[in-house]
């Protein structure tokens, strides 16, 4: 298939990602890793990299072959990348990864147990990428699949279209919105979140600088999180650490929580005296309870707020945290943002359309950033 078989939206999204987000330059070496279900956008990105004068190595992972290895009890082998892959990574400037495999329904059922060894390569990957000075992006388009769309009752074509249109948002605009919110959060002490669905909760800020994620990655710098050379695309969040001491009231999610292939819906949290007093979920309750039970101290504390910046996003699966004006409340560890909560557990829940006030001054109203 040539680029002529691609839709205009696919070509436009690929151009935006390559030129505005990844900022690929002539002569740079770019690795693009794709699965079968993400081939159209991946091909479009190969074409765009070449249009700006970049060199591409296109890596294809076959879905059937991957699951075949799992079925033969070779999951541990999948977690051991080959020597040529490590060599290519060490020589790359830019890396693009599409989430996979495409059978998200099976992944959601198996990932905690049998499939974990299949991703053991990740730890060494970050070490090699940091040493190479690589920057890159993880494509949310990789989560779009027929199986998950059917399970959730969403139109797969509209889902994909939403993800692609969100990729057209100029990251410079995301940075502007983030800067406005960061100014208020940097000076504030408390944040109150209210919504007509019963949400009314107040949390305390840790007085640490918020972290902007606008989709424009950079090579690892000292002080960055281990995964800091990669950014989610589409993007747009401002993350701020909470003090893990102050939390009073109720928080009611009205969006799914998607953390890799783990999905939770209907999250309702009750806080009292700074701690999570009770919770309930419509979907994923058993998995959440299992992970929460084994989490270390601090799992019951409000730890991070994620404020969505991307106005092009509206209730799109796997983009809940970047939806413009949304807020996601995380409980558990926040060391990645410089916080004091070292819990091994973390999970967030997302709410769109709320009012958010810092020290009594509104910064988001009806889901709109002021």
Query: What pLDDT does 1 receive?
Result: 34
Angle at 342 between CA 339 and CA 345, to 5 degrees: 115
Percent of the chain with pLDDT over 70: 98
What are the start and end residues of each CATH 3.40.1830.10 domain in the chain? 3-166
> How does DSSP classify residue 283?
B
Res. 89: pLDDT tops 80: yes
Question: How far is the C-alpha of 335 from the C-alpha of 244, rounded, in Å?
Answer: 11
Question: How far is the C-alpha of 359 from the C-alpha of 204, rounded, in Å?
Answer: 10
Backbone angles phi, psi at 172, to 5 degrees: -65, -35
Question: How far is the C-alpha of 14 from the C-alpha of 332, rounded, in Å?
Answer: 36
Residue 365, C-beta contacts closer than 8 angstroms, at least 6 positions apart: 355
Percent of the chain with pLDDT over 90: 90
pLDDT tens digits along 16-75: 999 999 999 999 999 999 999 999 999 999 999 999 999 999 999 999 999 999 999 999
Res. 337: pLDDT tops 90: yes
pLDDT tens digits along 139-156: 999 999 999 999 899 999
CB 301 within 8 Å of CB 348: no
pLDDT tens digits along 205-226: 999 999 999 999 999 998 888 8
Res. 2: pLDDT tops 70: no
Query: What pLDDT does 144 receive?
Result: 95
Query: What pLDDT does 182 receive?
Result: 96
Question: b vs e for 171-208, b when ≥16 Cβ sit within 10 Å of the residue's Cβ?
Answer: beebbebbeebbebbeebebbbbbbeeebebbbbbbeb
Question: How far is the C-alpha of 356 from the C-alpha of 353, rounded, in Å?
Answer: 10
Question: b vs e for 53-78, b when ≥16 Cβ sit within 10 Å of the residue's Cβ?
Answer: ebebbbeebeeeebeeebeeeebeeb
The domain over range 3-166 is classified in CATH as 1.20.1250.20: no
CB 32 within 8 Å of CB 46: yes
Per the model's pLDDT, the better-predicted residue between 294 and 116 turns out to be 294
What mean pLDDT is reported for the chain?
94
Q: From the DSSP assignment, how many helices (H) and strands (E) are in the chain?
A: 11, 19
């Amino acid at each position: 298939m040539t680029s002529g078989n691609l839709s205009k939206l696919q070509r436009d999204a690929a151009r935006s990602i390559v030129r505005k987000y990844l900022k690929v330059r002539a002569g740079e070496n770019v690795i693009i890793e794709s699965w079968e279900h993400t081939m159209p956008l991946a091909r479009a990105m190969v074409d765009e990299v070449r249009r700006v004068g970049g060199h591409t190595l296109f890596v294809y992972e076959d879905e059937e072959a991957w699951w075949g290895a799992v079925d033969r009890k070779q999951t541990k082998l999948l977690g051991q990348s080959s020597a040529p892959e490590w060599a290519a990574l060490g020589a790359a400037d830019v890396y693009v990864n599409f989430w996979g495999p495409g059978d998200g329904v099976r992944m959601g059922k198996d990932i905690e147990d049998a499939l974990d060894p299949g991703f053991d390569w990740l730890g060494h990957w970050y070490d090699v990428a940091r040493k190479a000075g690589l920057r890159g992006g993880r494509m949310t388009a990789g989560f779009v699949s027929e199986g998950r769309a059917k399970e959730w009752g969403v139109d797969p074509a509209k889902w994909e279209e939403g993800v692609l249109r969100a990729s057209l948002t100029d990251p410079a605009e995301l940075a502007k919105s983030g800067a406005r919110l960061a100014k208020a959060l940097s000076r504030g002490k408390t944040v109150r979140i209210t919504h007509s669905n019963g949400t009314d909760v107040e949390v305390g800020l840790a007085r640490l600088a918020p972290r902007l994620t606008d989709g424009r990655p950079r090579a690892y710098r000292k002080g960055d999180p281990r995964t800091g050379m990669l950014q989610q695309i589409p993007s747009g969040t401002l993350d701020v650490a909470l003090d893990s001491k102050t939390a009073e009231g109720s928080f009611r999610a009205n969006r799914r929580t998607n953390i890799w292939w783990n999905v939770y819906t209907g999250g309702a949290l009750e806080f009292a005296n700074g701690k999570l007093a009770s919770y309930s979920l419509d979907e994923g309750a058993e998995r959440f309870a299992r992970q929460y039970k084994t989490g270390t101290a601090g799992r019951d504390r409000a730890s991070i707020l994620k404020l969505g910046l991307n106005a092009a996003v509206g209730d799109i699966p796997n983009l809940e945290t970047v939806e413009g004006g949304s807020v996601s409340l995380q409980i558990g560890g926040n060391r990645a943002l410089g916080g004091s909560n070292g819990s091994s557990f973390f999970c967030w829940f997302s709410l769109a359309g709320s009012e958010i006030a810092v020290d009594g001054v509104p910064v988001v109203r009806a889901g709109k950033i002021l």
